[in-house]
Amino acid sequence: MLDRRKAVKSLLAQRGGDVLIVTGLGSPTYDVAAVADRADNFYLWSAMGGAVPMALGLALAQPGMRVLCVTGDGELLMGLGGLASVGVAQPRNLAIVVIDNEAYGETGGQKSHTAGRPDLAQIASACGFQRTVTARTESEMTELRNLVMGAEGPVLGVIKANAGEHERVLPSRDGHFLRQRFKQAVGGVP
């Protein structure tokens, strides 16, 4: 099992200017903000289940950019159908990273479905994702980073993480600000 904060930091260490990120609510938002609060991050603070389809719409609109959806197991479980829609759309520039601590950290650490039999990487494979990697060790993290940063999508990486909570690094909650800032960063607003 990996430390989520360190894993996300190592994942984004070599992030280029062509990588756009959408985060799922809760800890993935804090993990990405803890690396760097950037204009080309769009943080969700609610809309649970919406991170993957939002990243899909962005990836389809910006085929020249790499779009990363960084989300959690609980958030993804609420919108599993989105994986099937990605599997149909086959965006080559979309990568999904699930930080899977098998628990709902925001609500007291109750077990999520991934603590049982359901396996998000296998679900993504069955939905038609090109490749998936599940990382439990540092060396597997290298493989995961290569996949989500470079491989032809859609791809999905699962970071199996310790259940422990980290300091909450809270980016802006002003949705209008986040939207305008993001659109300016990708040239969507004159």
Partner 1 sequence: MTADYKWQDGDWRQGVFDALMRQDIRQVAYVPDAGHSSLIEACHETSDLITTVLTTEEEGVALIAGADLGGQRGVMLMQSSGIGNCVNMFSLLSVCGFPFLTLVTMRGEWAEFNPWQIPMGQASEETFRRSGFLVYRAERPDDVAEIVEAAARICFDSECAVAVLLSQRLIGSKIF
Instruction: Tell me the two tokens of residue 78.
Output: 């609420």
Site size with partner 1, rule: CB under 8 A? 39
Residue closer to partner 1, measured from CB, 97 or 135:
97
46 binds partner 1 (CB under 8 A): yes
Residue 79-108 contact track with partner 1, rule CB under 8 A, x = bound? x-xx-xx--xx-------------------
- What is the DSSP code string of the chain? -B-HHHHHHHHHTT--TTEEEEE-TTHHHHHHHHH---TTEEE-SS-TT-HHHHHHHHHHH-TTSEEEEEEEHHHHHHTTHHHHHHHHH--TTEEEEEEE-SEEGGGT-EE-GGGSS--HHHHHHHTT-SEEEEE-SHHHHHHHHHHHHHS-SSEEEEEEB-S-----------HHHHHHHHHHHHT---
We find the least distance from the C-beta atom of residue 21 to partner 1, in angstroms, to be 11
116 binds partner 1 (CB under 8 A): no
183 binds partner 1 (CB under 8 A): yes
Residue closer to partner 1, measured from CB, 54 or 103:
54
Q: Which of 22, 25, 147, 155 binds partner 1 (CB under 8 A)?
A: 22
Residue closer to partner 1, measured from CB, 4 or 182:
182
Binding positions for partner 1, rule: CB under 8 A: 20, 22, 42, 44, 46-62, 65, 79, 81-82, 84-85, 88-89, 175-176, 178-179, 182-183, 186-189
